[in-house]
Amino acid sequence: MKRAPKLPEAELDVMLALWEFTQPARTACILEKVQARRAWTVSTLKVVLGRLVEKGFVEETRQGRFTLYRALVPEEEYRRSETKHMLGRFYGNSVKNLVAALVQDEGLSQVDIAELEDILRRAGGKS
């Protein structure tokens, strides 16, 4: 998988809103979701959407008098790309080192431990 470029926080907020839609969305609908995180005007949102279109993250189409936007990069693909990058940059590509850092900083509940053990058991069964 080719690494998608890292998005600035403002663009990521718009992508997080777009990923919530199953169909192309109008600007007003996107703005409603983004305003939970940012006090933007429609024009500010359109500028950010334009940048995302230029970067190939978003598709813009016209439907009558409305402009619709749709995420082209799936959320899971972007999340995996960012996780791999962070893992390599900060933890030497070691999942063990990442988990150790998280456990050291945050600790784990018994539920977390049981869920991680289940994940590791399932991963161990793969060849």
Is residue 60 domain-resident? yes
Is residue 1 domain-resident? no
Q: What pLDDT, on a 0 to 100 scale, did the predictor assign at position 102?
A: 82
Residues 82 and 114 in one domain: yes
Residues 55 and 80 in one domain: no
pLDDT in tens, 29-54: 999 999 999 999 999 999 999 999 99
* Residue 117 structural domain: 76-124
Rounded alpha-carbon distances, angstroms, from residue 69 to 27, 30, 40: 7, 9, 17
Is residue 2 domain-resident? no
Global pTM reads 0.81
> How many separate helices (H) and strands (E) can be counted in the chain?
6, 3
Listed residue (64, 71, 62) closest to 30, CA to CA: 71
Domain of residue 17, CATH code: 1.10.10.10
Residues 112 and 86 in one domain: yes
pLDDT in tens, 101-118: 888 877 788 998 899 889
Domain count, the chain: 2
Domain of residue 110, CATH code: 1.10.4040
